[in-house]
Structure 1
Amino acid sequence: MIVAFDQVQLLDVSGPLEVLTTANRYGARYEVRVVSPTGLDVRTSCGMRIGADARVEEVPRTVDTLVVPGRRDWRRATADDELIALVGGLAARARRVTSVCAGAFLLAQAGVLDGRRATTHWELAPQLAAAYSRVAVEPDPVFVRDGHVVTSAGVTAGIDLALALVEEDHGADVAREAARQLVVFMARPGGQSQFSVRMTPQEPRHPLVRRAMDKVTADPSFPHGTEGLAAGLGISARHLARLFRQETGMTPGQYVDAVRVESAQALLSSGTASVEEIAREAGFGSSETMRRVFQHALGVSPTVYRARFRTTAPSLPRGTRTADAGCAGRSDDLT
């Protein structure tokens, strides 16, 4: 069941909907319905109208999976008592509850996220944390699972989320075929950052910081020590460190490690080179050094990251049971 309402972001609705219906071509059996508070059509954020399949009264008593999309002006959405009542009521009847982007605010307003970990679009994360103190907001991941509730980041993260749901229900092969058909990436793990470190900040104000960052990203494998970077810019290491912290919130060394992690992620995901070879090519020098940095930055080792490249599933604590995993033989009524 996908909730729709006036000014909802269109891709929050259409992204998951397209993934789930595409998966039906490869063995899934999703029956996706769109419900609105009034049962009438709604106008999306881009002006396009979308139709609702059912009124609230027509929704079955049991809801398998609930998808709650968002609206950029989340305050207007959370002030809509009828909408929040609809979301809260459906969530209470759902086996699995999910949100896309600012949809997390609707779940929070309905009390669904109280005492839970959650994420949303990185730009909105501080607002979610400030407005709902009982929600443990994690601003970086693509999606976060806490029990039967899964929240996802910005609009395209709804596609990642939907692929993860398909994999959970029908296995990686079906999810992979759907991803290939839609020409989207299958392997964006839930714990992966929402955006590249090379985009943060996009435009450092100080030209020396820009030059240092460009040098690191151009060749992550080069031994970029703070002293060497500073010498190349004609300033002291102390001055460079101060500028870096002002502009990026990181030390030069932390930025170098972050870029190298991204470089190694790409190499692990796309090639067959050994972990030791990738460690050297990415600039870590040794697989042990890369392992330590990976563990700190991503919470997984390089070998685990590589093994999971062909899966969308977020890392779960050891012993955690994924709900209805491997249930490819059953019908999935998304109502």
Structure 2
Amino acid sequence: MDEVTSHLVAFLVSPGVNMIDLGGPMQAFSTCNTLAKRGTLYEIITASAQGGAVQTAPGLMLPTTAIAQIDPSNIDTLVVPGGSNGGQPPENNELAHWISANSARIGRICSVCTGAFLLGQAGILSGRRVATHWRWAEELQRRYPEAHVELDPIYIEDKNVWTSAGVSAGIDLALALIARDQGRATAMAVARNLVVYITRSGGQAQFSVPLEAQSASGNTFADLEDWILNHLTMRLDIATLANRVGMSERSFRRKYHEATGRTPMRAVEAFRLEAASQSLISTMQSVKQIARAVGCETENNLLRLFRRHYGITPVEFRQRFSKQPENSADP
């Protein structure tokens, strides 16, 4: 039997770390070790700026190793879990400096949820596509405008930097890393053991856009959004929508953004994207037919929409998520 080379995974934590952001991916790697029949595949360590006990968000004390005691060149995967200290995303000058100084020596760098803020502070998100929890996406983009923050994906791989959304998305990220390292069969075995879905890939949306929009506290535009969902093939420009609610275009733009956290045009785009996604998963319609049915008019328009939001084509999305037979209407 060939000798197994252990893959070092270092979790870099700061006070207020979220236990699920940390424990979910850690358990996935640990379960992979448990199921392995050829030795320890992943060596797991937890590190912090000074070492010693670090208090987690629920108040539990977590033993850690000081980053000064770790050789960065030995780290195959660095994972920065999210969390908050005083209700704000993590900010740690010492950890950010260490990540910045050693990023070139580390195999791949990952974040879960608001852990992306530390990667942004370290200066390694510039020019990269980035994911975080959807509630923090706008703030991450504001703080680090050189990054390309995307609202929808569960996780994103951009070269050697992987970023993921919040909470359970960290498990999806870990499963993707395991699949890359050990193969899909091993990742599926881990997923089955954890009783989670292996089919959630990075292109899948974090949440249902209509559901999230209409469940938002204080959203006074729920009736308008119902109307949009039932009239996706119409010309849904600012003038049409503002006229529908009896507002000037300027007031409508401002009030809609205040109520929902996104611009009207981003909302229309998101509704069309989700409608198209559901059709790709649940029907045998061609991409061209779906594009017309959701108001994108042409297949190329829908293609651009999917690439911009998910980083994949509609056909690739269907191949990943559809439970329909593979002999679909698409070529």
Q: Same fold (TM over 0.5)?
A: yes
Looking at structure 1, the residues matched to 127 and 42 of structure 2 have their Cα atoms a distance apart, in angstroms, of 30
Given candidates 231, 241, 250, the residue that maps to 2:264 is 250
Quick check: 1:5 aligned with 2:19?
Answer: no
**Quick one: structure 1 residues 260 and 146, their matched pair in 2 at CA, closer, same or farther if it must change by over 3 Å?**
closer
After superposition, the Cα gap between the structure-2 partners of 1:118 and 1:18, relative to the gap in structure 1 and judged at 3 Å, is same
- Report whether the alignment pairs 1:59 with 2:70: yes
Q: What are the superposed Cα offsets for residues 283-311 of structure 1, whole Å, 9 maximum, x if unpaired?
A: 9549x95844541332244322121238x
* Percent sequence identity over aligned pairs: 32
- Matched to 1:5, the amino acid is S
Equivalent runs, 1:47-86 vs 2, <5 Å: 47-52=59-64, 54-60=65-71, 61-73=73-85, 77-81=90-94, 83-86=95-98
Match of 1:298 among 283, 306, 323: 306
* Residue 24 of structure 2, aligned match among 15, 20, 37: 15
Equivalent residues of 2:127, 2:148 under 8 A apart? no
How far is 1:150 from its partner?
Answer: 1.5
Tell me, yes or no, if structure 1 residue 275 matches structure 2 residue 285. yes
Provide the residue aligned with 2:154 in structure 1: 142
- Which one of 211, 215, 225 corresponds to residue 202 of structure 1? 215
Is 1:153 the counterpart of 2:165? The answer is yes
**TM-score relative to the length of structure 2:** 0.70
SS at match of 2:76: strand
1:24: Cα distance to partner? 3.2
- Deviations for 1:75-100, whole angstroms, at most 9, x for unmatched residues? 7843442x334434553431111111
- Would you say the 8 A contact 1:3–1:35 is kept in 2? yes
Going from structure 1 to structure 2, the CA distance change for 1:64 and 1:216 (only over 3 Å counts) comes to: same
Residue 275 of structure 1 aligns to a residue in which SS?
A: coil
User: Quick check: 1:112 aligned with 2:120?
Assistant: no
Which secondary structure state, in structure 2, belongs to the residue aligned with residue 14 of structure 1?
helix
SS in 1 for 2:156: strand
Query: Partner of 2:107: helix, strand, or coil?
Result: strand
Query: What is the total number of aligned residue pairs between the two structures?
Result: 293
Mapped partners of 1:151, 1:161: distance in 2: 8
Residue pair 1:142, 1:193 contacting (<8 A) in 2 also = yes
Which ranges of structure 2 fall in alignment gaps of 5 or more residues? Answer: 1-9, 237-241, 258-262, 323-331
Q: Following TM superposition, by how much is the alpha carbon of 1:43 offset from its aligned partner in structure 2, in angstroms?
A: 1.1
Q: In structure 1, how many angstroms separate the alpha carbons of the residues matched to 2:196 and 2:274?
A: 19
Change in 2 beyond 3 A, CA 1:189/1:161:
same
Corresponding residue for residue 329 of structure 2: none
Aligned partners of 1:157, 1:136: CA distance in 2, in Å?
Answer: 20
Give the counterpart letter for 2:16 in structure 1: Q
Unaligned runs of 5+ in 1: 228-234, 311-335
Amino acid at match of 2:264: M
SS at match of 1:151: strand
1:230 is matched with none
Single out whichever of 258-267 and 100-109 deviates more from structure 2. 258-267
Distance 1:301 1:216 in 2: 24
Cα 1:132/1:296, change in 2 over 3 Å:
closer
Higher relative contact order (CA 8 A, sep 6+): 1
The Cα offsets for residues 128-169 of structure 1, whole Å up to 9 and x where unpaired, read as: 334345x32314133333221112222332222112211211
Residue 179 of structure 2 aligns with an amino acid whose one-letter code is E
TM-score computed with the length of structure 1 as normaliser: 0.69
Match of residue 315 from structure 1: none
**2:55 paired residue among 43, 50, 58:** 43
Q: Which amino acid aligns with 2:284?
A: S
* In structure 1, C-alpha distance between the alignment counterparts of 2:176 and 2:60, rounded to whole Å: 27
